[in-house]
Structure 1
Amino acid sequence: MRETSETSENVAAYIRASTDKQNSGHQRDDINDWADQNNIDPTGINWYVDLSQSGSDPGREQFIELTDDIDAGEYDRIIVWEISRLARLGSIYQEFFETASDAGTIINITNDWTDTVKPDGTGKLIADISAAVAEEERRKLISRVNSGVKRAKKEGKWLGEVPVGFERNAEGYLRPTLTPDEGDDGYLEIRAALEAIENGSSYRQEAKGLNTTRQTLSRIHQDEDRRQWYLDATAKTDDRIAEALDTIPE
């Protein structure tokens, strides 16, 4: 929700964080500091905040509301921490700045190559270059991450959530947990529970002696492939699981 207060100049600030784990407090602090240093009362800023939102998404609720309010002539000035907070795609970014220019709204950036983009276009070229560089760096980062994921999969390493009863070793390979830590369930415990379920016991009954929930036991038991990981120590559709199961001592 937008937080509002009054000031002599109509000023808004926009904050965006890509994930809920990212701390957006530093953006707010930088914007408040910049405003204070430039004779703008921080208590008079209207805040628009999108959390857990990608900069490539044009449908951000607060971003859309801010753009509409600029278009309606509500603001003389918008403050952001970086241009990348506004958008990760050039088309979204350009449309935002065109709206601000048409409305006569100044854009201030507290942490970028330029700190001011005026409606007459002053500062826009540098802002464009900064945004283009940031977009290219992001493309390269995504490419490196994707290459790393493909390489890890090719090498048989396990990515993502580790199945119950397994662990990921220091090299990134999946292994059955044969000596679980306190609070964890090992591979053999899960196998014993599934064997009991096969013999007529209930999910609820078997979950009583485990940290694993009855819902998880049910999902494993009703999935033919996953069920065989434990009952037969085989994996027909995932070579990484098959290789892990081969490490179980006979």
Structure 2
Amino acid sequence: MSEILAYARVSTSDQSRDGQLESIREHYPDLPAENIYADVGSGDDPTRDEYVELRDRVEAGEAEKVVAAKLDRLGRSTAEVADFVDTCSDQDVGLHLVQQGFNVDPDDGMGQMMLKFMSMVAEMELKLNRERRQEGIERAIDRGVQFGKAPHGMTKNEMGVPVPGEGYERVQAFIREVREGRAKRPTARFFEIPEGSIATILERADELYGVEFDNDEWTLERAKVEAGEKDLEELGG
């Protein structure tokens, strides 16, 4: 029998206070506790036992609908989110993103088309990021840049050219978060990035990681945060 399943990725052990779970329970007050999956910690936690169990149930045809606060809660990366959305679509599973107002029922043909479209957009974004990264590396080589040790989150292929390695997507997430106006060093600590790598990562964000970053724009955004004119969600929340 298929059921409604919910997922949240929270940043505190006191899950009852987390906004994601409150939003889910607000829309589904009678949802059994055993159908609510929540992983505690950052999205880079490699275990994520609850997420894995949720996916297993979706792939086994045990889900009628998956409920989450936002789309980005359903994966650690654009690729993983796209894959999850694809899985839901293939299994005729609905998707309700309660904080984004997106609700697709499994028998809603137009809604299922929207799910496919969301997956395609996510995959396209991933492809564009890869292309931009490769173009940046090629431009650097043309300028005579010599690559010594591979940049953080990257490794070298057989040609000695940096390619994505362990922690690459974590570095991309770090750049995006800093771009919003977060303090650089605390954000780097959260994403387990050495302080000595911060400058290189941000200076070559577009070239190596396919994520645009402008330090002048960051200074303006940081000023807004410090002045209380811009609020940022807790990292990992």
| TM-score, with length taken from structure 2 | 0.46
Q: Which structure has more helix as a fraction of its residues?
A: 2
Per chain length, whose mean CA-contact separation is higher, i.e. which structure has more relative contact order (CA < 8 Å, sep 6+)? 2
| TM-score, with length taken from structure 1 | 0.44
Q: Which structure has the larger Rg over C-alpha atoms? A: 1
